[in-house]
Structure 1
Amino acid sequence: MKRRQLLQAMAVGPWLLPALASATDSLVFTFGQTRPATQVRKVFAAGAPAAVLLCCLAPEKMLGWPWPLDEDKRSLLSPVVRDLPMIGRLAGRGSTVPLETLVALAPDLILDVGEADATYQSLALRTSEQTGLPWLLVDGRLEKSPRQLREAAARLGVQVRGERLAQYAEAILMRARNHGAALGPVYLARGHDGLETGLGGSIHAEAVELAGLENVAARLGPGGMARISLEQLLDWQPHSLLCQDASLYRHIRQSSLWQALPAVREGRVYSVPQSPFGWLDGPPGLNRLLGLEWLAAFDPKHAGALPQRVREFFALFYGMQLDEAQLQRLLAGHPGSAHG
């Protein structure tokens, strides 16, 4: 840390030093007094991306889920986490956990994964000060997945597993960069009417952009989520549409208004798998690595590998051995898969 930065940190108070000291890493921010990794046995996932990482990396340390999971999604997860309760979240769109409840749970660590800007650092610092509990904030960008896994694994005492998952994540990212997918310019349809989408550089569109595809909404510039009009979409003329959930997929396919788009008329509308977590988003966590495999399989040269790669991912990351019926349900509707 430069002398000027150090003096500024001292001026605002010593409680900010942990955040400023770790900011040079740009991936992991620590607040409060953390325990040695060997003593971290109970971890509270502050939000959905953190829960996915914890479920994959150290399921035996997970206290519960930040949001409710239906029975179908739970059935695709390891028994270690399948029956954990829904205990609420601290991050995301509003906290649902009173601090008294959090203290009563007595976690050894609070883990948060996702945006790591000043807003989330402030939340982490304030909560750690009020509860006396350490908070680990990890930048959740998809391209940084291998580092996320290694850094979190070191703090959870599961380095061997973390390295194995990190190497697999590196292989997925390399494949995505090498060949992308054959979908042409795409539109990511979200919201109840399909007119909500992620702009360029949005964490919600990150998987599509990492796969080498053009996100047509990036033409509006960088940002997060945005509302658009159907007229705007007609002007963009995306080659393919990716729907966030099955109900939206049905709406777009059946709507007379959406038939004005050639992509809809010609059947290039696809429902992104959502179990046990969204494959391209929902939440924006490690689950999106599987979405990169799904996107790559639209290229006929790589389609045949998809079923085996889905099996491998579920076994390694989710601790779940898929049977043939489960695999068929997950890949139903993918035109490049023999299971579609």
Structure 2
Amino acid sequence: MAPVARALALVTALLAAACPAAAKVFTDAAGRRVEIPDAPKRVLPAGPPAAVLVYVVAPDLLAGWTRAPSADEKPFLRPEVRDLPAYGRLAGRGGTANLEAVLAAKPDLIVDVGSVDKTYAALADRVQAQTGVPYILIDGALAKSPETLRRLGLALNRETRAGELATYADDALTSVAAGVARIPTEARPRVYYARGPDGLETAPKGSITVESLDAVGAVNVAEGGTGLARVSPEQILGWNPDAVVTIDQRFATRAKSDPVWSGIKAVREGRVYAAPAAPFGWLDAPPAVNRLIGLRWLARALYGGAFPGDLRAETKRFYALFYGVALDDARLDDLLPAAGPPR
């Protein structure tokens, strides 16, 4: 290299080292204008929905998990992220992360995805002020999944990848909505959504937890309130739902022989449906884009032949596209035996 060229290269390198990374202003779902890196290198999710979103859009940028994946979940994740550290959660129910954990992760961006209100905006402002790390909020509503993916793609400088996922999301939402529109109102089942090993935790209509029920036209028997709540067996018996849907296989197995549940029509008639839950719940846990494949499953569970299609093939497609994992038949069998609806 000629002396002049070497000198120019040295000057360029020194300037790059001395200047901060390029930044852009991002307006988040709470209307906050946040200066973020133009191309983030390490992204810390504030809660489980954000962990899923960052993983599917940019797995190489994921700084860590809010909860370490279990041994059963790891085979359904890319090998390079399975053993990332768990830092706990900053936002949402049962926050466990502290500022020391945030700083230890050395992120250049914090992302939260889910419900957006003044409480979450205030938390974002506080953490950003205390750590100096930009913190953005993105709306995680199921119906807004295509927009959610595109917004995160913009923030992470991954517009092409996010656009591909958003196209799938739009097709999934549109096709399920079209199928539901063909179901007469009187044929739409009354459903109880059971959470936890005893099935006595649920959420009312309008909660982000049960958006999947709303999307498939099911009538949620739980009314009132805004978030997760404990209910009694007597309440459920009074509701007497047509179907019970859960993401907890332990509960689904127990309910079939539990005298507490035997008086409920859905249990007596064998309409207790347990959704797959690896690496993330298909209906919830967390409420993120993992629910897109769950919509197809839930529609099949509740309406049967009114939603034809090859669920196994669609599951393989979704896992390859979103999770970067090729499912063989044995792994697919691990997911679907508990799925309730016919394959």
Task: Give TM class, smaller chain.
Answer: 0.7 to 0.9
Q: Please give the per-residue CA displacement for 1:207-255, whole angstroms capped at 9, x wherever unaligned.
A: 11111111111xx235222222222222222111112311111221121
**CA distance, structure 1, for counterparts of residue 189 and residue 332 of structure 2:** 26
The letter of the residue matching 1:124 is A
Q: Which amino acid aligns with 2:335?
A: L
What is the identity percentage for the equivalent residue pairs of Structure 1 and Structure 2? 43
For normalisation by structure 1, the TM-score amounts to 0.86
Cα offset, 1:183, TM superposition: 6.8
DSSP 3-state at the match of 2:219:
coil
SS in 1 for 2:136: strand
Cα shift at 1:22: 4.5
CA 1:190–1:164 in structure 2 vs 1: closer, same or farther (change >3 Å)?
same
Which residue does 1:118 correspond to in 2?
Answer: 118
- Report the equivalent of 2:322: 317
Aligned residue in 1 for 2:158: 158
The answer to whether the 8 A contact 1:198-1:205 is kept is yes
- Aligned twin of 2:36: 34
Once the two structures are superposed, residues 136-173 of structure 1 have per-residue CA deviations (whole angstroms, 9 ceiling, x without a partner) of 11111111110010011011011001100001000010
Residue identity in the other structure for 1:206: E
Higher alpha-carbon deviation: 315-324 or 253-262 = 253-262
In the TM superposition, residue 83 of structure 1 has moved relative to its aligned partner by: 2.3
How does the TM-score come out when normalised to structure 2? Answer: 0.86
8 A contact 1:280–1:287 mirrored in 2: yes
Which amino acid in 1 is paired with 2:37? R
CA distance in 1, matches of 2:36, 2:204: 36
Instruction: Classify the secondary structure of the residue corresponding to 2:333.
Output: helix
SS across alignment from 2:76 = coil
Q: Given that residues 47 and 66 in structure 2 are in contact (C-alpha distance below 8 angstroms), is that contact kept between their aligned partners in structure 1?
A: yes
From the superposition, tell whether residues 263 and 242 of structure 1 become closer, same or farther in structure 2 (CA, over 3 Å).
Answer: same
| 1:178 partnered with 2:166 | no
RMSD of aligned Cα (Å): 2.0
**Aligned 8 A contact 1:46 1:66 in 2:** yes
Q: Distance in 2 between matches of 1:87 and 1:200?
A: 32
Distance 2:339 2:104 in 1: 46
SS of alignment partner, residue 307 of structure 2 = helix
Rounded Cα–Cα distance in structure 1 between residues aligned with 2:342 and 2:106: 46
Structure 2: distance between partners of 1:334 and 1:119: 36
Residue pair 2:188, 2:219 contacting (<8 A) in 1 also: no
1:243 maps to what in 2? 246
Contact 1:241-1:270 within 8 A present in 2 as well:
yes
**SS at 1:110's partner residue?**
strand
1:290 to 2:269 alignment = no
2:108 match: 108
The alpha-carbon deviation at position 185 of structure 1 amounts to 1.4
Structure 2 residue 192 is matched with structure 1 residue 187: yes
- Match among 256, 259, 264 for residue 262 of structure 2: 259
Structure 2 runs not aligned, ≥5 long = 1-24
Look up the equivalent residue of 1:34 and give its one-letter code: I
Unaligned ranges ≥5, structure 1: 1-18
Distance 1:104 1:69, change over 3 A: closer
- Contact 1:46–1:89 under 8 Å retained in 2: yes
How far apart, in 1, do the equivalents of 2:226 and 2:93 lie? 18
Q: Name the SS of the counterpart of 2:113 in structure 1.
A: strand
Q: 2:271 aligns with which of 252, 262, 268?
A: 268
